[in-house]
Amino acid sequence: MPAAGLAALVAAAPSPAAAALTSPSVMQLGQAVPDVQTVLSLIGNSGTDLATYLANPSTVCTFFAPTNQAMANSVNSLGPYVGLAAQNATLTAATYNYHVIPGVALTAAQLTQLNQSNTRANETLWIWTKE
């Protein structure tokens, strides 16, 4: 998926003391970004551990959220199988766990300094930057 099809949502608790205060979850942060509502709705309605993880205000992570247009393109690519995919919570969680870097809230500048990171799906995310 091209980079233009992703919007990074970052949830961070800057310190243990600050984490004790009410901080927004990834799902709450995403509500302020109209262009990622499709994926948030899909995950939020899935009832999976990923939905719980992203709804937890104490979760610290970087989430690469596909834009609504990227989701529409995916739906069009699935054709007649789109209904099966959307109703399969296990598939939803398995797919979008690849979009989460757990335990760290990375800025765009920090991402450009990395070559790779591990995803919540326990796979390597390779990071290339175009100079």
Mean pLDDT of the chain: 85
Distance in angstroms between the alpha carbons of the first and the last residue of the chain:
19
Per-residue pLDDT at 2: 42
> What's the rounded Cα separation, in Å, for the pair 70 and 60?
25
**38-71 confidence digits (pLDDT tens):** 999 999 999 999 999 999 999 999 999 999 999 9
Architecture field, domain 3-126: Roll (2.30)
Tell me what the mean pLDDT of segment 70-96 comes to.
Answer: 84
Query: Exposure string (b/e) for 10-32, b if CB count within 10 Å is 16 or more?
Result: bbbbeeeeeeeeebebbbbbbee
Confidence grade of residue 129 (pLDDT, cut at 50, 70, 90): confident
Confidence grade of residue 16 (pLDDT, cut at 50, 70, 90): low
Residue 21 tokens read as 């205060």
Question: Domain-by-domain residue ranges, the chain?
Answer: 3-126
Residue 30 tokens read as 């995403």
Tell me what the mean pLDDT of segment 96-101 comes to.
Answer: 96
